[in-house]
Structure 1
Amino acid sequence: MDPFSQLILTISVTSFLTFQWLFHRVSPWMSMRISRGFLGLTDKQKVEWNSTVSTFHALLVGIFCLCILFFDDAVNEDPVGDPTLVKTNVAITTGYLISLLLIFYYWKAIGDKFFVVHHLTALYAYYYVLGEGMLPYFANFRLLAEFSTPCVNQWFFEVLGYPKSSRPNMANGVAMAVVFFMVRIAVMPVYYSRMYAVYGTEAFYLVPWGGRVAWICSSICLDIMNIMWMHKIARGCYKVLRSARQSKAVAPQENGKTD
């Protein structure tokens, strides 16, 4: 098999250019027409706001990922073999991740060292999927995590003036915690049980040493960060819900004093 076929390279480059266009052109144009609050944001906040084009990427590859898991019998039966649809999905994600190199240009606004490590780790693993056609099931399975992105991107409720105790913020906080847990934490037993089932088999040794390192080490690295982020999200969600509950408890007391 020729590594990095012309089709895969074309999809990756097209994905990169598309997300750059969405970030620099489409998002600012749409935001000014949809929300008046966008014009009042600082330059830093506008960069953060426009970076939420990741929602489009998340929905696109997430839905594609589910279709493959449910309907692509070849990938599900042979988790180590050569993919076709998976390579297309991963190529879209690769172009998107490379487009995030703009992080370094806007480091003061959206730079985050864990975010960079997360994406570089993913790119390292995706090299073996795109270049060698290996481990398609596991690469596709990891893309389930993208379903948490839309909720994570709703941070701009606060930027637009909604207090943390407002219903939109609280509803999104709970949804973010639940979805993040379901697609990044709860699926770990399924993922690692499938990995254990493949480990040591003939198919396992068909993957070169570098591919095995990329597969196992990147999975562990990504999930350590997922657990760290889950802890932060859960704590934040708990604090907001507790604060809202305390505010409701205080309100009747204050009303009783004024009567």
Structure 2
Amino acid sequence: MSGFSFSTGVRMLAGVSVPVFSGILMCKIVYEVTGRISLSYFKGYTKLRKEQQVEWNNRGFSTFHALLAAAISFYLVVLSDLFRDDGHDELVINRHSTLSNTILGVSIGYFLADLGMILWCFPALGGKEYVVHHGLSMYSILLALMSGQAQIYILMVLFTEITTPFVNLRWYLDVAGQKSSKLYVYNGIALFVGWLVARVLLFIFFFTHMYLHFDQVKMIFPLGFYSILMVPPMISLLNLFWFWKILKGLIKTLSKARHKS
């Protein structure tokens, strides 16, 4: 990659230290707010075990980050002209902006906070696959921030967080004893469709875009180039693994609902 050096990367990383810290602070604030709101408006919250309350609050800031990251990623990739082929003279793999750097920095802060809680409570908040997912995510985002390259692909992957609120709602309803409710069934269907679109079909578009712009992809600095060839397929395999589990869960839920009716 022309113009990229370790010192340049360090300077760029230092420039997003505030967003990273803001992401960690955001998680802390939302964690506390989720607990206080739940304590006031959800009677069953006090009946939860301590570890369930921790996960309840944890999923609060997980949902908040997912909505924020997905919204900004969608705006940058789809609505703005930042990454349009005819929008700039600069190569699409070299384009970034203050907003893209900021949301990537905030996301690193989120993944750091969430990974810290996962490891602290391991394996209550998630198994090894979550550690792998968060590790790969932070690694990829960090490279994009330090180099200023391939941010379009990182933002595409970040948009897949849009499925997280459905995952969290499923857990909330389960803990609240609402697995037999219609909302649980509808959320399961929404999760299946959302996962199919955002974490399966979107990755097909992701790899197609890379193929069509491979002449530019090859210009990414060596570590970034080989990482973008290896990390997205690994995340895609994780998504397919979870998609299979979601499909089996949906079939089981619909089968129970059909028998009850």
Q: In the alignment, does 2:110 pair up with 1:96? A: yes
Count of aligned positions: 244
Q: Do the aligned partners of 1:165 and 1:241 also contact (CA within 8 Å) in 2?
A: no
Output the TM-score relative to the length of structure 2.
0.89
Code of the aligned partner of 2:130: F
12, 21, 24: which is aligned to 1:13? 21
131, 137, 141: which is aligned to 2:146? 131
State the Cα distance separating 1:5 from its structure 2 match: 4.5
Q: Which runs of 5+ in 2 are unaligned?
A: 86-90
The corresponding residue for 2:175 is 159
Aligned mates of 1:226, 1:104 — CA distance in 2: 21
State the Cα distance separating 1:86 from its structure 2 match: 1.9
The corresponding residue for 1:87 is 101
State the Cα distance separating 1:160 from its structure 2 match: 1.2
Higher CA-based Rg: 1
The corresponding residue for 1:255 is none
* C-alpha distance after superposition, 1:80-114 (max 9, x if no partner): 11311322221111110011112111114213100
Partner SS state of residue 110, structure 1: coil
CA 1:169–1:74: 2 relative to 1, 3 Å: closer
Q: Do the aligned partners of 2:210 and 2:217 also contact (CA within 8 Å) in 1?
A: no
* C-alpha distance after superposition, 1:211-257 (max 9, x if no partner): 01221211001000000000000110011101111122xxxxxxxxx
The corresponding residue for 1:70 is 78
Aligned mates of 1:17, 1:47 — CA distance in 2: 17
Output the TM-score relative to the length of structure 1.
0.89
215, 220, 244: which is aligned to 2:233? 220
Aligned mates of 1:106, 1:80 — CA distance in 2: 38
CA 1:189–1:111: 2 relative to 1, 3 Å: closer
Partner SS state of residue 107, structure 1: coil
The corresponding residue for 1:145 is 160
Q: In the alignment, does 2:184 pair up with 1:177? A: no
Code of the aligned partner of 1:159: V
Q: Do the aligned partners of 2:104 and 2:145 also contact (CA within 8 Å) in 1?
A: yes
Aligned mates of 1:207, 1:116 — CA distance in 2: 27
The corresponding residue for 2:207 is 192
Q: Do the aligned partners of 2:56 and 2:172 also contact (CA within 8 Å) in 1?
A: yes
Measured on the aligned residues, the alpha-carbon RMSD in Å equals: 1.5
Code of the aligned partner of 2:233: I
Q: Do the aligned partners of 1:79 and 1:138 also contact (CA within 8 Å) in 2?
A: no
Q: Which runs of 5+ in 1 are unaligned?
A: 249-259
Q: Which runs of 4+ in 1 moved over 4 A?
A: none
The corresponding residue for 2:88 is none
Q: In the alignment, does 2:242 pair up with 1:229? A: yes
Aligned mates of 2:84, 2:38 — CA distance in 1: 40
The corresponding residue for 1:253 is none
Partner SS state of residue 177, structure 2: coil
* C-alpha distance after superposition, 1:100-144 (max 9, x if no partner): 112111114213100110110111111211111010111111112
Give identity over the alignment, percent: 25
